[in-house]
A and B are shown apart, each in its own frame.
Chain A
Amino acid sequence: MKELLEITNLCYQNLFENLSFKVEQGKFITISGGNNCGKTTLIRILGGQIPIEKTIKLLGMHIEEYPQNLWKEITGTVIPQDSVEFLFKTVEEELNYAIHLFKKTEEEKKETYKEIVKKYKLTKFQKKNPNDVSEFIKIKLLIAKQLLGSPQVLFLDDICEELEAKEKKEMINLLRTLQLETGISIVMTTSNLNIALESDYLLIISEKKILLEGEPLSIIEKDNVLNKIGLELPFMVDLSVKLMDYNLVEKTELDIDRLVDNIWK
């Protein structure tokens, strides 16, 4: 496996002090931590909005060494709270404008548009004003636009937090599909450990550093540490971990029926 990111001793304001980590390419990576631990700032740094030198290597090269246009080609960043109003009056125009910047022929443009509408389930929203649609649709639009240049990595800042439960599931499925199709790496912050459970690798930030990292479930089972930094365990993990303390079950079970079966055989 090739390395996607390598951060060495990142220091920034009062937020990070010698924060370091490495992650592999092609994975779905989540980064979590309590309120104000620097999740959004980290994505701004990774996305290049906050320039930091000699600290962050993306695909083997320091990010400041990438020429501007190449950087834009290989990375996409979505930070909902930084996003400005959409320029066009309809979702259709908004998408088509973005498409025309990347695709040459009319045929390609049409094809791309159709594909996006289908994949992101935007059929019903094509004629709607992109500034009036739900947060879910807005975020899907932002992602679709970022992916037009076929980047190799997508940096996402807590895009699930504004979504309702059903939408969250759909969003995770969408990200997984995109990843399967294109092999893109995803680095996403989340304040919700339920979301982190769906990823391949989880990093927890606390006290300006990486406190824990590894396979998500094994990290999330550390209930004492996570509670201390203000994170809530997904209910099923919390219940399993506590039942394990009383020797009532042997391992974490995320499915309610199976957990009930494991307790009352």
Chain B
Amino acid sequence: MEIKLENIRKNDWEFSTSLSSDDIVGITGSEYEELLEILRLEELPEGNITIDGILLNPENHLEYYKRISIIEKKLKKINYLNTVKEHMDYVINYYHLQIKNIEKKEKDSLRIVGLDESLLNRNITTLSRSERKKVDLAIGLLSNPDIIILDDPFRFLDNKSRKRMMMILKKLKEQFHKLIIIATLDEEVLYQYTDKMLFLKNKRIFLETDTKEGYERVDYLKRNGFQVPERVLFTYKAIKRKKVKIEYHKDIRDIIKDVYKHV
């Protein structure tokens, strides 16, 4: 799965990038929600967009629009709908999804995200915030999208649920070649879970980089108003202030091992 965005212009934004399902992509920067609005592709922006080699045009646009799913920061309850099932049915109708056994598909998607199928008949308003977050993903998966954009997916989730969510996303990427995009202001999440980063600033892609390499540019990021994860800062300070030759690691156990070797 690959999407190429060339010379895109919309609402003062200007950018080009190419994203593929080889990487879990992270997006950050105070204006990231505006970029997500463009990536939603509800309408075609100025510029060229190619998905798996096919150039999007007004004729094929709708077909491709359906292949992108944005998992919103907060699920909006649809006024006249109550249960999880009603919300799922709504999405199935809205996208005209061809599904043989709807109830089975709905239960399956709940199970994939680690929820009990009995949740299907619960009123959305009675779910806890973490359950709601997982239901969001389950609903987003119903249309079997190729590009899954998650707006702040880990909020409200404890560590256990985060790990599970990440396992699901990795599986979607590796086995089904879905392009996974995680947008958030949480630098700890981005550093630990993404492979490639887009740092946004002033309606541009300010820095496009391998996640680990990008976050190691501590001074550069800080100067430009981006937050750096604490585990990076710790290593950075050890190197800079104590001249020890330790390396940057994502996993805390690797940091400890490296410190142990260098005291």
Contacts and interface: CB of A to CB of B under 8 A. Distances in A.
A232 B159 contact: yes
Give the size range of B's interface with the partner: 20 to 34
A161 B256 contact: no
Nearest to B188: A235
B4 interface: no
B158 A256 contact: no
A263 B262 CA distance: 10
A134 B171 CA distance: 34
Interface string A136-170: 00000000000000000000001001101100000
A248 B230 contact: no
A231 to B, nearest CB: 6
A161 B155 contact: yes
A162 B156 CA distance: 8
Nearest to A242: B256
B234 A243 contact: no
Interface residues of A, number: 29
B28 to A, nearest CB: 11
B255 to A, nearest CB: 7
A109 B260 CA distance: 62
B159 A263 contact: no
Interface stretch (B57-65, B92-100, B238-246): B238-246
Contact of B256 (A162, A165, A236, A243): A243
B185 A235 contact: no
A16 to B, nearest CB: 15
Contacts of B131: 35-36
B7 interface: no
B160 interface: yes
Contacts of A158: 129
B78 interface: no
A265 B229 CA distance: 24
Contact of A264 (B158, B160, B244): B244
Interface in B209-262: 227, 229-231, 233-234, 237-238, 241-242, 244, 252-253, 255-256, 259-260
A235 B259 contact: no
24 contacts: A34-B158, A34-B160, A35-B158, A35-B160, A161-B155, A165-B185, A227-B159, A230-B160, A232-B158, A235-B230, A235-B231, A239-B231, A239-B255, A242-B253, A242-B256, A248-B259, A256-B233, A256-B237, A259-B234, A260-B234, A260-B238, A260-B241, A260-B242, A263-B259
Interface of A: 34-36, 40, 81, 158, 161-162, 164-165, 191, 227, 230-232, 235-236, 238-239, 242-243, 246, 248, 256-257, 259-260, 263-264
Given A35-B156, A260-B234, 10 more contacts: A35-B131, A35-B161, A158-B129, A227-B159, A235-B188, A236-B230, A243-B256, A246-B256, A248-B259, A264-B238
